[in-house]
Amino acid sequence: MKITFLLPLLAALAGTASAALNVTGSTCTVTPLETGTNGQDPDDTPQILDAFKQCGTDGTIILTEGLFHIGQVMDTTTLSNVDIEIHGTLQWSSDIQYWLRSSLSVTYAGRSTAWRLGGTDIRLRGFGKALFDGQGQLWYDQNRNQGNQNGRPISLTLWHAKNVLVDGITWRQSQFWHTFVAYSDNITMTNLDMNSTSNSQWSTVNTDGTDTWNTNNVYISNWTVTCGDDCISMKGNSSNIFVENVKCYESGCAVIGSMGNPATTPDLVSNVVFNNITCVHSSNAAWIKTYSGTGYVKNVTFSNIVAENVNQPIYVTPCIYTGQGCDSSRIPISDIRWINVTGTSRYNIASAIHCSASVPCTGLSFENVSITSLDGSTDVKYLCSNIEDQANTGIPCTGTCPANWPQQLDGNR
**For residues 13-28, average pLDDT:** 73
With contact defined as beta carbons under 8 Å apart, do 115 and 74 qualify?
yes
Is 9 a residue whose pLDDT tops 60?
A: no
Is 10 a residue whose pLDDT tops 80?
A: no
**For residues 104-113, average pLDDT:** 97
Does the global pTM surpass 0.85?
Answer: yes
> Residue 2: enclosing H or E segment and its boundaries?
helix 2-18
**Whose CA is closest to 289, among 331, 328, 335, 241?**
331
Question: CA dist 120 to 9, 28, 162, 296, Å?
Answer: 43, 19, 5, 29
**For residues 26-46, average pLDDT:** 92
Residue type, 244: E
Is 218 a residue whose pLDDT tops 50?
A: yes
DSSP 25: T
Residue 180 CB neighbour total at 10 angstroms: 27
Check residue 90 and give its pLDDT.
98
Question: CA dist 337 to 132, 187, 302, 333, 367, Å?
Answer: 36, 24, 6, 11, 8
Contacts of 267 (CB under 8 A, 6+ apart): 235, 236, 237, 259, 260, 290, 293, 294, 295, 331
Check residue 298 and give its pLDDT.
98
**Whose CA is closest to 161, among 114, 210, 216?**
216
Question: Which of the four pLDDT bands, split at 50, 70 and 90, describes residue 19?
Answer: low
Average pLDDT over the chain reads: 94
Question: CA dist 369 to 44, 225, 346, 382, 400, Å?
Answer: 51, 24, 16, 11, 19
Question: CA dist 245 to 107, 188, 303, Å?
Answer: 30, 14, 11
Residue 170 CB neighbour total at 10 angstroms: 18
**For residues 159-174, average pLDDT:** 99
Check residue 378 and give its pLDDT.
81
Is 14 a residue whose pLDDT tops 70?
A: no
Percentage of the chain surpassing pLDDT 90?
A: 92
Question: Which of the four pLDDT bands, split at 50, 70 and 90, describes residue 39?
Answer: confident
> Residue 95: enclosing H or E segment and its boundaries?
none
Q: Half-sphere exposure of 308 toward its Cβ, with a 13 Å CA cutoff?
A: 9
Contacts of 145 (CB under 8 A, 6+ apart): 202, 203, 205
Tell me the per-residue pLDDT of 58-91, one tens digit each, with 9 for 90 and over.
999 999 999 999 999 999 999 999 999 999 999 9
**Whose CA is closest to 350, among 323, 370, 321?**
370
Q: At residue 145, what are phi and psi to the nearest 5 degrees? A: 65, 20
Helix (H, G, I), strand (E, B) or coil at 6: helix
**Whose CA is closest to 173, among 154, 194, 201, 150?**
194
Is 16 a residue whose pLDDT tops 50?
A: no
**For residues 25-34, average pLDDT:** 97
Tell me the per-residue pLDDT of 382-399, one tens digit each, with 9 for 90 and over.
999 999 999 999 999 999
Question: Which of the four pLDDT bands, split at 50, 70 and 90, describes residue 11?
Answer: very low
With contact defined as beta carbons under 8 Å apart, do 69 and 42 qualify?
yes
Check residue 377 and give its pLDDT.
80
> Residue 7: enclosing H or E segment and its boundaries?
helix 2-18
Is 257 a residue whose pLDDT tops 60?
A: yes
Is 344 a residue whose pLDDT tops 70?
A: yes
Percentage of the chain surpassing pLDDT 70?
A: 95
Q: Half-sphere exposure of 58 toward its Cβ, with a 13 Å CA cutoff?
A: 1
DSSP 330: B
Q: What is the phi-psi region of residue 145: left when phi exceeds 0, alpha when psi lies from -120 to 50, beta otherwise?
A: left
**For residues 352-370, average pLDDT:** 98
**For residues 336-357, average pLDDT:** 98
